[in-house]
Amino acid sequence: MCRPPESAQPYGEQRLIRALCLFPLFFLIAHPCVAIREGAATADIFIKRYERSGDFGELALWHEAAAECLMRISIPMNKIAHDYYSQRGYKKWAARAKKETREIQEQYKHHRKRAKIAWQKLGTPKPALDAERENITKFIATWLPRYPDRFYEFGIYPTFFRKQRELAERKGDYVRVLQLEADAAEMCAAQYEKILIAYGLKGYQKHRDAYRQHALLLQDLAQQNPKRLPKEVSEAKQIARSLETQAVSTPRRADVILHIAKSDVRVKTALEGQIGVHAYPSFQGFAWIVRFSNHRRGNLVTAIIDEKTVEVLDIFYGIF
């Protein structure tokens, strides 16, 4: 997730735009199934862009990109969770994961079908398609690490492991706490293995190995039947920070991108008179997406900004 830009300037006391990431984070915590499909959902923004412009070649490629996100990210993530629930006897959680698998598969079929239809329409010049394929490669490489890198922030850890840990702590069952944290670390390692390493991204074997080693350490500590929690129980969250890897880098700062988005006349018009607006800039590997929203109306306007030219490529209003 992006950090709040330090230099974002307010429109006024009632039009303060703050680049926060807490709201989407809370949303993903509360809706883990949405988090699993977040990459494919973001691809929908580019799908809408090319639907509107009538560029059917690019449209087909982005439907294929959404399908690939589901296949390479959502399906393995959900399988890892389902297998864990099933093996540990969490029947309700396993049933929910199974239901989510069906929903993901339906979405996958939808995007493949729409891609096939788009390919049958008026063609797009090959150079444009090659450029878009390069963008999509960067897009997917950017999304792949987001799930395991943020494992302890949203999704299955806060919705399942943290809650189970809290129950165990209230009972004073520290062995159970250590076992849960070991399972969580092992699952995080599995995400690196089944998603990033399976895709061929370099430099993530050390992440997988670090979490596996941490899981083994916690398992050893659990066997000692401790009377209080050792400090190692909460050290997993520091592993990703100590091994930070960025698949696709950007020289742009979020506050610079935010300023460009806010300076666009269309964005200014959409935000005029709105109160309590927040901005959420996020890098997509080749472009930035900046969403402006408030609690009253939800998503107000979304801007797509080119990473190289810092040009506002497109604007969308409301929720789409």
Lowest mean pLDDT among 15-19, 91-95, 273-277: 15-19
Is the distance from CB of 287 to CB of 19 less than 8 angstroms?
Answer: no
CB atoms < 10 A from the CB of 260, how many? 20
Residue 246: band (very low, low, confident or very high) from pLDDT cuts 50, 70, 90: low
171: tokens are 């009972």
| Phi then psi dihedrals of residue 224, to 5 deg | -85, -5
Q: Residue 197: is its pLDDT beyond 70?
A: yes
Note the pLDDT of residue 252.
81
Note the pLDDT of residue 2.
37
Q: Residue 127: is its pLDDT beyond 50?
A: yes
Separation between Cα atoms, residue 165 and residue 172, nearest integer Å = 10
Q: Is 273 left (phi over 0), alpha (psi -120 to 50) or beta?
A: left
Per-residue pLDDT tens digits for 131-179 = 999 999 999 999 999 889 999 998 899 999 999 999 999 999 999 999 9
Note the pLDDT of residue 263.
95
Note the pLDDT of residue 319.
65
Q: Residue 28: is its pLDDT beyond 50?
A: no
Note the pLDDT of residue 231.
92
Side chain identity at 269, as an amino acid letter? T
Of the two residues 73 and 4, the one the predictor is more confident about is: 73
| Phi then psi dihedrals of residue 229, to 5 deg | -75, 130
Alpha-carbon distances, residue 5 vs 8, 18, 20, 267 (angstroms):
6, 8, 8, 18
Average pLDDT value for residue range 58-65: 97
Beta-carbon contacts of 99 under 8 Å, excluding residues fewer than 6 positions away, are none
Note the pLDDT of residue 3.
36
Q: Residue 125: is its pLDDT beyond 50?
A: yes
Strand partners, 304: 289, 314
Q: Residue 226: is its pLDDT beyond 60?
A: yes
Helix (H, G, I), strand (E, B) or coil at 77: helix
Q: What single DSSP character describes residue 15?
A: S
* Average pLDDT taken over every residue of the chain: 86
User: Cβ-count burial of 92 within 10 angstroms (0-12 exposed, 13-18 middle, 19+ buried)?
Assistant: exposed
Q: Residue 266: is its pLDDT beyond 90?
A: yes
Average pLDDT value for residue range 18-22: 38
Note the pLDDT of residue 119.
95
Q: How would you classify the pairing of strands 312-317 and 298-306?
A: antiparallel
Of the two residues 104 and 252, the one the predictor is more confident about is: 104
Note the pLDDT of residue 245.
67
Interhelix angle 174-191/75-88, rounded to 10 degrees, is 150
Of the two residues 212 and 245, the one the predictor is more confident about is: 212
CB atoms < 10 A from the CB of 160, how many? 20
Note the pLDDT of residue 320.
54
Percent of the chain whose predicted confidence (pLDDT) is above 70: 86
Residue 105: band (very low, low, confident or very high) from pLDDT cuts 50, 70, 90: very high
Separation between Cα atoms, residue 62 and residue 47, nearest integer Å = 6
Separation between Cα atoms, residue 244 and residue 207, nearest integer Å = 9
Q: Residue 65: is its pLDDT beyond 60?
A: yes
Of the two residues 77 and 3, the one the predictor is more confident about is: 77
Q: What is the DSSP string of 177-198?
A: HHHHHHHHHHHHHHHIIIIIIH
